[in-house]
Amino acid sequence: MLEDALLTPSLVYAVVSLALVLLIKSALFPPLPDNIPPFPVRPWPVLGHLPYLLTGQRQKLLDWRKTTGDIFSLYFGSRLLVILNGHRLVRDGLVRNADSLSNRPPWAHLDGSTNGIIFSNGTLWKEQRTVSIAILRSFGMGKGALSDKIHEEIASYLDALAGLGGKPSDVALLTRTSVSNVICSIIVGKRFEYNDPFFAAFMDSFDKQVQASENTAPVMFWPWLRHIPGNFMNSKTLNNCVKEMLGEFCDKFINLARKDGDENMPNCFIAEYWKAMKERKSYSSTTTLDETNLRWVLLQLFFAGTDTTSSTILWFIYYMLRHPHIQEEEEVHICPSIHPSLQPPISVPHFAAGDVTLQGYTIPAGATVLPNLDSVMMDEKVWEEPLKFSPRRFIDAAGSLIKHEAFMPFSVGRRMCMGEALANMELFLFLSCLVQRFRLESALPGHPPSVRPVDAIVSAPGEFHARFVHRAAQRT
Ligand code: HEM
């Protein structure tokens, strides 16, 4: 009797309605973990902070630091993203808490592939990274031996620039191709002519992939978006480009190195990886060195090593046009360096493997953590007029390069860039050779270009034209 009285239709209706309201509320406003860093602005239901970040993300993150502090949280769907700003906090997070913050988050792009170095974790990441660094070092990364290969490439780059005859030209593709060729000469032991059809097709695919990766962040946070029919947020283009590059190019690079048999491979990265793989397989059944990972490592070396370095060279050319007098200063000829305003990548996301306390807040296990390198390199508290292009801030009275703890374009901690030594060597040689051989001039004398950055994986200057005037020709 009591049961009948309780189960009246109106009561059932009330209970179901209440349950639905609670369900919708918890879907729209998921309960927040305790003591997380503050939000800079209220998140939207379901979408979280995504609507605020559809444009001008880099500037918005810098503005939010001013209003909220060095550490703040953002929500994307049900995923928590914690942003770390300023060199002390970034170091605290990535160095002092390296045990918890050295992983990568699950990566929805690339079909969630966690092979290779950049997106992998645990023993796989450790073995791939350690072996790859050892191979690069054995080729002289950070030492003189590699500079011969780089000089060989620079000679062709400078000839191609000289071939432009001082006419206004957009040299973005040429610069990317040339920097990519340095990686080629390490990977397969040879550089390609710029008009080689295989290499040109590779660069074309590479470009498509870089363009497709613009604004794909939402797919990372809502992986199901990539199943939406069509090509939502370029996710299909991106996956197709990756597959094409792995199949069409990385496999061919491997075949090229192995064409005369494993015993006669040229002196190159692929040969060294192959040797290490065979050796380890002979005594260990658990090694992660295999052909699949090799393909991914090659792709990632191209990716990580090309756009970053070539964009830095392009920013340098751009700033030389805007500040022509700097080209004549002796120190710039000998030690051009990455300047805060040369815009390194904002960084690659990390993942909290366990709870971490920073500045009294808790970053819960499972959160994605982004060290905002812009906030470090453009920090007004550290650099005087950080947006002003002034290479002299890095040169002391004796003409030597000043090392600054807040200068971290390659990040810090266990995940820091593994190509730093190679990149520094390339930048030093490319930039010094460039200003020694040419005077860089605007397309229209007295009218330096003014472009907006194009933010894809890294920030590159928008299209601009420059004239490369041979210094010897100018003197005669
Ligand atoms: C101007 C040039 C470059 C800059 C500014 C740069 C910057 C960075 C940054 C900020 C990261 C992320 C670090 C982190 O997660 O905390 C990174 C990772 C990485 N970089 Fe570079 N990089 C450059 C050139 C290169 C080159 C030439 C190579 C190739 C040899 C390379 C290979 C890598 C790899 C493989 C990773 C992933 C490391 C890992 O996940 O363990 N980078 N780089």
Q: Which of 111, 109, 70 is nearest to 92 (CA)?
A: 70
Beta strand 79-84 with 368-371: parallel, antiparallel or unpaired? Answer: parallel
Contacts of residue 235, defined as CB under 8 A and 6 or more positions apart, other chains included, come to 109, 216, 219, 225, 226
Within-domain flag for 197: yes
* Cα 265 to Cα 250, 257, 295, distances in angstroms: 16, 6, 17
Within-domain flag for 313: yes
- DSSP E strands, 268-403: 350-351, 356-358, 361-363, 368-371
Annotated binding-site residue? 417: yes
- pLDDT value of residue 336: 45
Measured from the CB, is residue 308 less than 6 Å from ligand 1? yes
Residue of minimum CA distance from atom 20 in ligand 1: 417
DSSP structural state of residue 325: G
Q: Which residue is listed with tokens 């609670």? A: 22
CA atoms within 13 Å, Cβ hemisphere of 178: 26
pTM of the predicted model as reported, rounded to 2 decimal places = 0.88
Residue of minimum CA distance from atom 26 in ligand 1: 305
Burial track 436-446 (b if 16+ CB lie within 10 A, e otherwise):
ebbbbbbbeee
Within-domain flag for 282: yes
Four-residue CA torsion sign, 151, 152, 157, 158: positive
Residue of minimum CA distance from atom 13 in ligand 1: 416
- Asked if residue 221 lies in contact with residue 233, where contact means CB atoms within 8 angstroms, the answer is no
* Cα 93 to Cα 71, 84, 351, 369, 417, distances in angstroms: 11, 8, 11, 9, 16
Four-residue CA torsion sign, 424, 425, 426, 432: positive
Within-domain flag for 65: no
Residue of minimum CA distance from atom 23 in ligand 1: 308
Phi, psi of 440 (to 5 degrees): -90, 125
Q: Tokens for 384?
A: 């005087």
Residue of minimum CA distance from atom 36 in ligand 1: 417
User: d(Cα 362, Cα 360) in Å, to the nearest integer?
Assistant: 7
Distance 417 CA to ligand 1 centre (A): 3
Distance 361 CA to ligand 1 centre (A): 29
What atom of ligand 1 comes closest to residue 415's alpha carbon? Answer: 41
User: d(Cα 15, Cα 24) in Å, to the nearest integer?
Assistant: 14
CATH number of the domain encompassing residue 237: 1.10.630.10
Within-domain flag for 5: no
Within-domain flag for 249: yes
Within-domain flag for 82: no
User: d(Cα 84, Cα 92) in Å, to the nearest integer?
Assistant: 10
Each of the 476 residues of the chain gets a pLDDT tens digit; together they read 555 655 677 766 776 776 676 666 566 566 778 899 999 999 998 888 988 987 788 889 999 999 999 999 999 877 899 999 999 999 999 999 999 999 999 875 555 568 999 999 999 999 999 999 999 999 887 666 688 889 999 999 999 999 999 999 999 999 999 999 999 999 998 899 999 998 998 888 888 877 776 666 666 666 666 677 777 667 777 778 888 888 888 898 999 888 888 888 888 999 999 999 999 999 988 999 999 999 999 999 998 999 899 999 999 999 999 988 887 765 555 444 444 455 555 788 999 999 999 999 999 999 999 999 999 998 999 998 888 888 888 888 888 888 889 999 999 999 999 999 999 999 999 999 999 999 999 999 889 998 888 776 678 899 999 999 998 765 55
Q: Tokens for 138?
A: 């054995």
Contacts of residue 377, defined as CB under 8 A and 6 or more positions apart, other chains included, come to 340, 341, 344, 383, 386, 406, 407, 408, 409
Within-domain flag for 22: no
Residue 230: which domain range? 113-216+223-345+385-475
Distance 415 CA to ligand 1 centre (A): 8
DSSP structural state of residue 300: H
Phi, psi of 346 (to 5 degrees): -65, -25
Counting the structural domains of the chain, the total is: 1
Measured from the CB, is residue 415 less than 6 Å from ligand 1? yes
Q: Tokens for 202?
A: 């590779």
Q: What is the DSSP string of 260-279?
A: T-GGG--SSHHHHHHHHHHH
